Amino acid sequence: MKKIKSERRKLKVKRTFLTKGSCGNTYFYIINREFGHPKLAEETALEPMAGGILQNGYQCGMLWGASMGICTEIYRRHGYSDKSLSLAVKATQHIMTSFHKRTNSIACSEITETDFKAKWGLANYFLKGKMINCYSLAGKWAPEALDAAEESLTFEPENTSQPVLNCASQVIKQMGGSDEEATMVAGFSGGMGLSGDACGALAAAIWKTILDLIKKDEWKSTLNDPDSNKILQSFYNASDYKIECSDICGKKFNSIDEHSEYLKQGGCKELIKALTENYDCN
């Protein structure tokens, strides 16, 4: 019975990938439906994460989608709270461990062996069958990812000595986002699950911007999205062209407490300001 369920999950994800065309959108979609709560606009808004944030080769889009799917369910169960923000990070770490076990990497560029920013990068991705490899990976990881998602919801939050602060959630709040939206991106903090990789605050700002444009029917999916690229340029200007959290902060965070303390002391304040100060949510 378990094998049959596993094969059904693989097939479902492959079919979804063909329909959605984006790994992040696919995994956000699949996990939301696994828990019985579709969120079409929110799922679509994750498309710019494909290719590792605007085809820059960082964390695989499947991870952004899986994290958001889990964190959305965490909000439904626990609301917006210190517990939710802590669980979001812990759950995202768990899903990242599952993915790394399957792929030996979390980076899109390493998994696809593709530099999408190279002159013929995108063309080679399709011509050399890399797209088929991603399609195959999406199916193979599906049973493990959905099991990891369910497991993560049984975890207890990390013990913390102070209120939990979260860079990605702060971005959403400063952009006028809801408690639910702030929780949905909470797993992105510290470079996703405190991993020190590409900035989660950047990903949150891109996602929120595209989500609001979708809701106003003012966004069209494109490989070279001008709205997302504008945010990326503002981010680069503020970060001295650094994008990985560990480079920007000069460290990797070992705990949620450590990350909260860093933000409490003003860490990333100017960066978050650069991502949000010109945003118009009306």
Low-confidence ranges of the chain (pLDDT < 50): none
Res 262: pLDDT: 97
Separation between Cα atoms, residue 72 and residue 35, nearest integer Å: 10
Query: DSSP secondary-structure letter at 71?
Result: H
Res 52: pLDDT: 95
Q: What is the dihedral of CA 38, 41, 46, 48, to 10 degrees?
A: 150
Q: Give the percent of the chain with pLDDT over 90.
A: 79
Query: 50's torsion region: left (phi>0), alpha (psi -120 to 50) or beta?
Result: beta
Res 2: pLDDT: 60
Separation between Cα atoms, residue 156 and residue 167, nearest integer Å: 21
- From the list 41, 16, 17, 29, the residue with the least C-alpha distance to 221 is 41
CB environment 124-160: b (16+ within 10 A), e (fewer): bbeeeebbeebbebbbebbbbbbebbeebeeeebeeb
The pTM is what?
0.94
Separation between Cα atoms, residue 210 and residue 277, nearest integer Å: 16
3-state SS record for 48-66: HHCCCCCCCCCECHHHHHH
Distant-in-sequence contacts of 110-113, Cβ < 8 A, 24+ apart: 110/57, 111/60, 111/137
Are 221 and 277 in contact by the 8 Å Cβ rule? The answer is no
pLDDT digits (tens, 9 = 90+) for 152-179: 999 998 888 999 999 999 999 999 999 9
Separation between Cα atoms, residue 197 and residue 249, nearest integer Å: 11
